[in-house]
Each structure stands twice: as C-alpha cells, then as structure tokens.
Amino acid sequence: MAFLFTSESVSEGHPDKLCDRVSDTVLDLFLAADPEARVACETFATTNRVIIGGEVRATDAKMPAILDGIEAAVRGAIADIGYEQDEFHHAHLEFQNYLHKQSTDIAMGVDSGDNKDEGAGDQGLMFGYACRETDMLMPAAIHYSHQILKRLAEIRKADADSILGPDSKSQITLVYDDNGNPTGAHKVVLSTQHAAAASQSDIRKLVTPVIADILPDGWMVDDADLLVNPTGNFVIGGPDGDAGLTGRKI
C-alpha cells in the first residue's frame, strides 16, 4: 500500500542543537587533554545566556587548564555557528559554568575492576538503520532535510551580508509506492531565521533553487506544496526566541 512519510531536520543554529554543540565542545576539550576523561555536561541557552553544568573527571594535574579554557571554547563554538545578534551574541552573552567533579560513588560504579571488564553508566541507547534509499544509506526524507539545511548554512557563512539567520528547520514528506520505495516529494516545509529587512518573497527566491537542486530529478514540489516560513516572520530566532537544552534533538 502506498503511503506518506515525513522527517524533520534542524540546523546548527537551532537552540537545542546549539546546546548539543556546546556540550560536545566541552567534551572535546577534556578528551584532547586527557583521553581517559569523563564528562556529563548539560547545557541550557536562552536570551544572551548560556549555562553549563554536570559532572567531570580528569587527571588532577590537567583539570585546571581544561577548566580555564572552557569559556573561550564555548564562545568560539557559538561564533562558528554564526550568532552575532543583539540578544544572543557569542562575545557578549553571559556564560555560567557549574561543572563539578564526578561523585566518587558514581565513579566507583562505572570504573572497571576485577569483576568487570569496563564500566558503563545509565545513559540511554539509541538505534537507527541503514537503507538503500540514498547513497549515504540514510532514509531519504531525513537525508534530504539534512542536506537542504547544510547547503543553506554554507550559503549563509559564505556571505557576511546574507539575509539568512542561523536558526532553521526543514521538513519533507515523501510519497512511497506499494513496494516501500520513495517516488517523490509530497510537501516541503522550510522555516528559516532571516534579517528584519528581508521579505518573505526574498527568502523564497533564495531557498527554492537550493531545495530543487538537493532533491532528486522529478521530486521538486509545486509552489503550493512548498511552504517557506509558513507562520510568517522569523527574525527573532535561536536561544533568544526559544530556549535550548541539551539532548532534545538527535
């Protein structure tokens, strides 16, 4: 039986993805200094504020230098995403660090010992699958949603005066035939933050050829089924428009 299937992707500037990036940055900083380090870093972001907290463990001699470098690394990651707006600017936002040393009780439970080869915490397990719908072995809807946002980020970063902002979402609904194979796009939704001076017509003219180029030949939807910023203006975005939190996006 034929069916429709929808997947959504969010950009690097989405508040939750920004928080994931910050936590990843902290983890990378620890592992670069101490490959045996342990890091559980949660991040919260809102208007001109980023807060991190959690438990960390590293060699005592290396811990001070790691901690001293966290703020600069976090601000650098946010700058790389492209946030320089008045209400969320990498150089001016307030940064608060509440990381603390891992509990000895927790450490004891996850350390390897005589009775186990290696320790494991109580973190969640995620699963996915490979398929032949795309060359990347990813399901088509999520793959093309990702690629659209990736291309738009490249366009934005290549032009200092780009009308595009860092925060965006892409959602694609595909048509599948009776054999479970995708045959085309049914509907495409793209919401992207933009400069206040940009009209919705300007945004549509910019993103439409990008979407058409990403989708396979013959898959591009008609204008009526291409919804660009369907809720209207999207000037206020990122953590200023919607608070971000680690771990809410995969």
* pLDDT per residue as tens digits for the range 130-180: 999 999 999 999 999 999 999 999 999 999 999 999 999 999 999 999 999
Domain that holds residue 39: 15-110
Domain boundary among 110, 139, 159: 110
The number of beta carbons lying within 10 Å of the beta carbon of residue 23 is: 21
Burial 141-159 (b: 16+ CB within 10 A, else e): bbbbbbbbbeebbeebeee
Q: What is the pLDDT of residue 102?
A: 80
Q: Which range is least confidently modeled, 77-81, 90-94, 230-234?
A: 230-234
Is a pLDDT exceeding 90 seen at residue 116? no
pLDDT value of position 14: 98
User: pLDDT (tens digit, 9 = 90+) per residue, 81-105?
Assistant: 999 999 999 999 999 999 998 877 6
User: Where is pLDDT greater, at 78 or 105?
Assistant: 78
pLDDT bucket at 1, cuts 50 / 70 / 90: confident
Per-residue pLDDT, averaged over 30-56, amounts to 96
CATH number at residue 88: 3.30.300.10
- Answer with the one of 59, 80, 110 that is the final residue of a domain: 110
- 215 and 231 in a common domain: yes
User: What pLDDT score does 112 carry?
Assistant: 57
On whether both 146 and 54 belong to a single domain, the answer is: no
Q: Mean pLDDT over all residues of the chain?
A: 92
